[in-house]
Amino acid sequence: MSLQSRSVPPQAQSLVEQLPEEWELLLHEWSEPRYRALQIFRWIYQRGVLNPEQMTDLPKRLRDKLAEAGLAPPATVAKTQDSADGTKKLLIELADGKQVETVLIPRGSVAAEDLFAGDGDDETAESRATDSQGVTQCISSQVGCAMGCAFCASGIAGLKRQMSAGEIVSQVLLGRATLEGSARLAGVVFMGMGEPLHNYDALARAIRLISHPDGLGMSLRRLTVSTSGLVPEIDRLARDFSGQVQLAVSLHAADTDTRTRLMPVNKKYPLSELLAAVRRYPVPRRRRLTIEYTLVRGLNDTELAAKNLARTLHGLRAKVNLIPMNPVAGVSLAAPDEATVERFQQILRDEGIDTFLRRRRGDDIAAACGQLALHGEARKVRTSERV
């Protein structure tokens, strides 16, 4: 690796998102003992306590200093919505009043079967057993999204602002705090609102915080980053985390014209360059990439499209998740009929491609991960269009 290609992580934007070594530097400046660094980090990430007043084993002097320096929760839960199968959606409010959503999906729920079919290739029977209490959390990485995909509510609303690493990780802390009984967090997927690789520095820091052994301690392999295909950042992710973070690529079409129509990002990073980046992503042994393919009626659902996709993926260690498009208010695109979806899946399977159907049932929450809409904002867009 050349020196130029090594990325230098930027500084933390707030105290909440500091890693232990950064706490050590700050505490040194404050003439406080070094061991306090881990103490504070563990309060935040192991116990979910972000209010210095509640860090009872710290001296009052230090608690006051932390509060003065601005250590405080960057987000709160504005609303919780429970579904019958155990899936839970949280509306998260950030300090400036902007809102994002996160969804907690228990393994074994209908939504989880849809989302994670074919995952966990290298899991042992033991880890599968503990995973039955496991919950996967789908989190947002931006308020809105700049990528403008034709079928996506977040894309239509546009990018409102980036999220900081502290805000991104807060979703996990707030989500974990809602778990009951023996439920525990088994995985985090960046498939909520936003394009995680368009907010790379915050994403990378969030990954470091979530995976830090003195924090949430989740292994990198339990984290999935879903991207519309930002080539340089796919390479950065590969380099920074040695391919340990699970990559999901939203392909949606294997021919240039259709992909550009559905996803403007294809003009910047054409299919050939994206596929090259995907092929060089260092997928660990016994793991595979995920290719996401949202089926849109009359656009990318033909037999020819399926054959083309199979040819494109030939030789790639990947599974395909087919997602019949969820309806989006104000958008005329729709999912194909059931028979077309099944034929598409069958063609891929006949060509030897492992393919799973994420049958969103259109109910409020199972449909949510992957299209956590800016509900209020989307309405505003439509109103202003009418003016």
- Taking the C-alpha atoms of residue 190 and residue 196, their distance in angstroms, rounded to an integer, is 7
> How many whole angstroms separate alpha carbon 57 and alpha carbon 63?
9
Report if residue 300 touches ligand SAH, rule: CB under 6 A.
Answer: no
* C-alpha–C-alpha distance, residues 158 and 386, integer Å: 18
CB of 330 to ligand SAH, least distance (A): 12
Question: Which of 17, 131, 195, 301: binder of ligand SF4 (CB under 6 A)?
Answer: 195
User: If binding is defined by CB under 6 A, does position 151 make contact with ligand SAH?
Assistant: yes
Residue nearest to ligand SF4 (CB): 155
# binding residues, ligand SF4 (CB under 6 A):
11
Q: Which does 328 bind (CB under 5 to 8 A by kind): ligand SF4, ligand SAH, none?
A: ligand SAH
3-class SS of residue 215? coil
Distance in Å, CB of 262 to ligand SAH, minimum: 9
Q: From CA 237, how far away is CA 242, in angstroms rounded?
A: 8
- C-alpha count within 13 angstroms, C-beta hemisphere, residue 282: 10
Gap between the Cα atoms of 23 and 17, Å rounded: 10
369 is catalytic: yes
The rounded distance, in Å, linking the Cα atoms of 55 and 234 is: 39
Instruction: For ligand SAH, give the closer residue by CB, 238 or 323.
Output: 323
Q: Choose, by CB under 6 A, the member of 17, 114, 195, 377 that binds ligand SAH.
A: 195
The yes or no reply on residue 191 touching ligand SAH (CB under 6 A) is: yes
Distance CA 227, CA 274 (A): 11
Tell me the chain's radius of gyration from C-alpha atoms.
Answer: 21
Residue 206 binds what, of ligand SF4, ligand SAH, none (CB under 5 to 8 Å, by partner type)? none
User: Is the Cβ of residue 238 or residue 249 nearer to ligand SF4 in the bound state?
Assistant: 249
370 binds ligand SAH (CB under 6 A): yes
258 binds ligand SF4 (CB under 6 A): no
Choosing from 171, 224, 266, 294, the residue that interacts with ligand SAH (CB under 6 A) is 294
Tokens of 363: 């109910």
| Binding-site member from 103, 152, 253, 289 for ligand SAH (CB under 6 A) | 152
Select 71 or 147, whichever has its Cβ closest to ligand SF4.
147
CA 228 centroid distance within chain? 12
> Using the rule CB under 6 A, is 326 a contact of ligand SAH?
yes
Residues in 215-254 at the binding interface with ligand SAH, rule: CB under 6 A = 226-228, 250
In the residue annotation, 101 being an active-site residue is answered as yes
> Binding to ligand SF4 (CB under 6 A): which residues in 139-168?
145, 147-149, 152, 154-155
Please report how close the Cβ of residue 291 comes to ligand SF4 at its closest, in angstroms. Answer: 14
Local structure of 144: helix, strand or coil: strand
Say how far apart CA 109 and CA 104 lie, in whole Å. Answer: 11
Q: What is the DSSP letter of 7?
A: P
Question: Which residue's CB is nearer to ligand SAH, number 18 or number 290?
Answer: 290
Query: HSE-up of 88 (CA within 13 Å, CB side)?
Result: 22
What the block records as the tokens of 70 is 């601005």
Total chain residues near ligand SAH (CB under 6 A): 16
- Residue in 169, 323, 368, 378 binding ligand SAH, rule: CB under 6 A: 323
Query: Which string of x and - marks every residue 213-252 that binds ligand SF4 (by CB under 6 A)?
Result: ---------------x---------------------x--
- List beta partners, residue 82: 88
Residue 241 interaction partner, one of ligand SAH, ligand SF4, none, beta carbon < 5-8 Å per kind: none
Place of tokens 């404050």: 30
Catalytic residue among 101, 167, 195, 377: 101
The C-alpha atoms of residue 341 and residue 321 are separated, in whole angstroms, by: 12
Strand 355-357: give its sheet, edge to edge: 75-82, 88-94, 99-106, 134-138, 184-190, 223-227, 246-250, 289-295, 318-324, 355-357
Question: From the centroid of its chain, how far is CA 303?
Answer: 31
Nearer to ligand SAH, 209 or 372 (CB): 372
| Residue numbers annotated as active site | 101, 369
Which residues of this chain interact with ligand SF4, rule CB under 6 A? 145, 147-149, 152, 154-155, 194-195, 228, 250
